[in-house]
Structure 1
Amino acid sequence: MATRQLELLVRDRLNSGAISTEEALLLFNRLLVAQNPVPSIHPFNQLLTALLRSNTSANPHAIVFFLFNRLTRTRGICPDHCMYGILINCCVQTNRIGLAFGILGRLLKEGHRPKAVTFSPILKGLCWKNRINEAAAIVFDKMPELGCAPDVFSYNILVKGFCSSGKTGLALQLLLKMAKDGGGCEPDVITYNTVIDGLCKEGELAKAFGLYNQMHYAGVIPDNVTYTSLIDGLCKKGALDEAEELLDAMISEGYQPNVVTYNAIMDAWCKTGENEKAEGLLHDMISKGHEPDIVTYNTLINGFCKSNELDKMEMLLHEMLSKGMKPSIVTCNIVMDALCKIGGAVKAEEYFCHMLSKGLTPNIVNCNTLIDGFCKQGLMKKAEKLLQVMAKKGLPPDVVTYNSIIHGYSKLGCWEEAIRVFRQLVDRGFLPDEYTYGALMDSLCKQGECQRCSFKAGG
């Protein structure tokens, strides 16, 4: 097959979206041996990108490096700027930032001039590792030194890094600098959304709304993400009326709230005990064509559980199942906690076992909830049995687990058993806390053994 036909075949197969790892490897190898003329670098880059995105290979990154090494040994074919960018991205995805810098050095040594997009994966990798200062040094010093002007994507990565590391003030300063300097790097909707969300998470609502107003002044149009962040911020401050007003304004301006927006308001209503309003919002979102997700149901179930409206809880659980939605580990714990609080530890155990039969993997929170429920009802044998089951499943107890059992034995006046469990706690390397000592001291004093309250951890 002629070189041009082979290049067109690569393009068509990739456009079809159905190329496998094996086929990509075959086409890459055919391109390597094609002659008269030698293929351009473009189809090689396309295949490497497709391999990285493929979900049919266990280790696509290793394959990409292997093929790159083969290509560099083939006469007449030289990697270009784009291929080095693919390799840099590959390094960052495999958490090898040092190697990414090495690839960048090779690119420079071969005379390629880096572009802003070349640095983007490295900046992301540094920010993921919370090496924000290094990322900032690249944007403000290294890139200009190499004649590579940072673009809005470079700044946005840095802005997100600042916000993620709790330095939203620096992110805001950078945004204002971008707006002042201009030069084609004015902040876009992503820049504004990132900083607004960071400010809302830190409770700086006045600054967040100030930035929202500046967006309009700068001609940057807010989107669903902007409104959702502001609504969530208002909800967390307890300003529910203002949140609903903003929701109405959002809809009137032609923006459709998504499930995240509704969940934020529902959560706030539930936390203030206004479960009926939260449930009304559920019906409202469904009527407008928005499907609730597991977070929606968990929020409502938790709200009704806290107000002991267990009939509503059961109704919502049935509604979830009727929609083909599986309860999550969070759902399981909400329900178990609610049952245990009304003295229904045995019923909570039944629900727990039912969820395990459905393939749910328990965590320490589930087990602690159930153990605490058993202990508060004096069902110590059940609590100890579950402790043994946890050990068999490789789920080690924590100080909360032991505290519940110590408190359970203490309430029953079984101080010898309480001290036995206390010693287990210490032997496992846990530090007793005030709750641990308080439960033991209360039990010993009630049994007329106050003189033993001076025992040491190892005594």
Structure 2
Amino acid sequence: MSLFRRLFPLHKKLHSSSHSYSARSSMNNYFLRKRRKWPLSLYKTKWQEEKLTHQLSMQKLVESTPNRSPKTHLLSILLDSFSAYECDPTPNAYYFILKTLTQNPSTWDEIPLILDYIRKFENFETPEYIFTYLIKFYGDSNMTHLAYEMFFTMPAYRCNPSVKSLNCLIWVLCKNNYDLRIVLQVLVKSQLLNIWVEESTFKILIRALCRIGKTNNAVDLLKLMVDSGFNLDANICSLILSTMPDVKDCVGVEIWGVLEEMRKLGYSPKRVDLCNVIRFYVNNGKGIDALEVLNKMKMCGMVPDVVCYNLVLNGLIFEGEYSNADELFDELLVLGLNPDIVTYNVYINGLCKQDKMVEALRVLGCMEDLGCKPEMNTYHTILDGLCRCGMLSSVKEVLGQMKSKGLQLSSHIYGVIINCMIRNGEVDEAYNLLHEMVDMGFVPQSITFDGLIGLLCNKGSFYEVMELLSIMSTKNLVPGIRSWEAFVQVLSSAKE
């Protein structure tokens, strides 16, 4: 017999009286739970009844809305749905029909009727989310003046506007490129409604200023935000620096000074921020300034990535600083960074601009060995440079490489190669390549046809000439002066 079984009779004997009492108490509680006679709270019952009637009224409204006739207003359906259960409409019911009306432009004229009824005949405090929805709706529908009016008439609907609805209105005004003076007017008037701007309001305004290119104003507002006791937001600082390179008119804007102002406010720039500073200088044709920022990054202990090097490399080549570009490309390799396709395309473009086609071909041959496959832009840059230098044999070689890899020429490169062949007197190959170009769906320029027709006339290939004229006719192209001069010369020689 186990210890538990030996002890259990003793335990049962010692606690038999308490056990019997607990059993009786349990039975009594069970009886009370199952047989209680006292009534429920009247308040609780009334609240449950109201909740049920509101649910039923709302269900009736939702079911009746899709089946309404065009002449029946939603307000009538709402009032009928709730009067059927002898209860008053709820704010959520009005919110539902307002959302339904905004989804169909033909019913937008019913919105003022709903709002007017709420203002005159309802007694509840209208929730703010109804007005924020309408403000955003009016802004998205290019009715910003109605959004403006809606915000300042909220107290008439027994609703005290807060910074949430204020932010919504400012966002709508900024999104629709409203005059900043109107935005400032809204901020001043909002103080009369006891609404004070928060950090979120500053962020909306700063983003709007960045979007329209007012970066200096955005920095001033950032200073005001910090002076007002709000925390410096690192994301806002990064946003200002990231939008500056896209600003079209940057006259008088000094991005390094902007960065220094942010540092004084306590912001520590990251690598992506300095990369945006580099992009700003490159977009404004200041490759040397971009190179200085790259050097400052290294002095500060930051390791620039290949994107930073690509930007600076592009800026230097654009300015014609080819010696600095060569040093930067070598530095990139020494640091162990892997050049990507952008790096090679930019560097090869610089070599082609200098007519260093042998070096460009050497870099093209090394790309795949270094794990980077050339793309269409790479080959097109090489072919353009080779044709400009008259290296037709190399053109044919690169063209063969492209065809073996299944790469297709663009319309521009077709024309460049054909014109190069025409200049070098390669009539037959130019003629075949032009046919290939037409078969690919491209339309050669008239000057290309004129040059080839002239060579074919001199060669006496009149059948090919007539075929080219037929192609020009189908493409709605008119032969140029060179073609007519070639015809006249051939006819004159035939008469003699």
Structure 1 counterpart of 2:298: 251
Note the C-alpha offset of 1:327: 2.2
Q: 1:423 to 1:248 in 2, by over 3 A?
A: same
2:348 paired residue number? 301
What's the C-alpha RMSD, in Å, of the aligned pairs?
Answer: 5.4
Match of 2:204 among 150, 154, 157: 154
SS in 2 for 1:221: coil
Which amino acid in 1 is paired with 2:402? F
1:256 is matched by which residue type in structure 2? Answer: V
Q: Note the alpha carbon deviations across 1:329-379, whole angstroms, 9 max, x for none.
A: 211211221232223443343233134x26x6x543444444444444444
The percentage of counterpart residues that share the same residue type is 16
Count of aligned positions:
342
Q: Contact between 1:406 and 1:422, CA under 8 Å: does it hold in 2?
A: no
Paired residue for 1:278, among 308, 325, 335? 325
1:385 matched to 2:450? The reply is no
Q: Which amino acid aligns with 1:349?
A: L
The 5-angstrom pairing of residues 410-425 of structure 1 reads 410=454, 420=469, 424=473
Q: Distance in 1 between matches of 2:252 and 2:273?
A: 13
* Amino acid in the other structure paired with 1:283: D
Equivalent residue letter for 1:159: L
| C-alpha distance in structure 1 between counterparts of 2:430 and 2:278, whole Å | 46
**From 251, 267, 271, the counterpart of 1:224:** 271
Displacement, 1:205? 6.6
1:288 and 2:335 are equivalent in the alignment? yes
Helix, strand or coil for the counterpart of 1:257?
coil
Counterparts of 1:6-405 in structure 2 under 5 Å? 114=164, 131-132=176-177, 149=197, 150-163=200-213, 170-180=214-224, 183=228, 188-194=236-242, 196-198=244-246, 202=249, 204=251, 207-234=254-281, 240-271=287-318, 275=322, 277-341=324-388, 342-344=391-393, 345-355=395-405, 357=406, 362-377=409-424, 378=427, 379-391=429-441, 397=443, 401-405=445-449
Contact 1:123–1:158 (CA<8 Å) still a contact in 2?
Answer: no
Change (3 A) 1:385 1:117: farther
Unaligned residue ranges in structure 1 (runs of 5+): 1-68, 73-79, 164-169, 450-459
Q: TM-score, normalised by structure 2?
A: 0.51
Number of the residue aligned with 1:41: none
Q: Specify whether residues 422 and 210 from structure 1 end up closer, same or farther in structure 2 by C-alpha distance, changes over 3 A only.
A: farther
Which moved further from structure 2: 373-382 or 247-256? 373-382
The 3 A distance-change label for structure 1 pair 145 and 413 is farther
Please state how far the C-alpha of 1:281 moved relative to its aligned partner.
1.9
**Distance in 1 (alpha carbons) for counterparts of 2:471 and 2:196:** 63
CA distance in 1, matches of 2:289, 2:357: 30
- Which structure has the larger Rg over C-alpha atoms? 2
Change (3 A) 1:278 1:251: same
Any idea what the Cα deviations from partners look like across 1:238-271, whole Å, max 9, x if unmatched? 6555443332222111222222221122223434
Q: Structure 2 stretches of 5 or more lacking a match?
A: 1-95, 100-127, 490-496
How far does the alpha carbon of each residue in 1:139-165 deviate from its partner, in whole angstroms, 9 at most, with x for none?
7678998969543542343234213xx
SS of residue paired to 2:449: helix
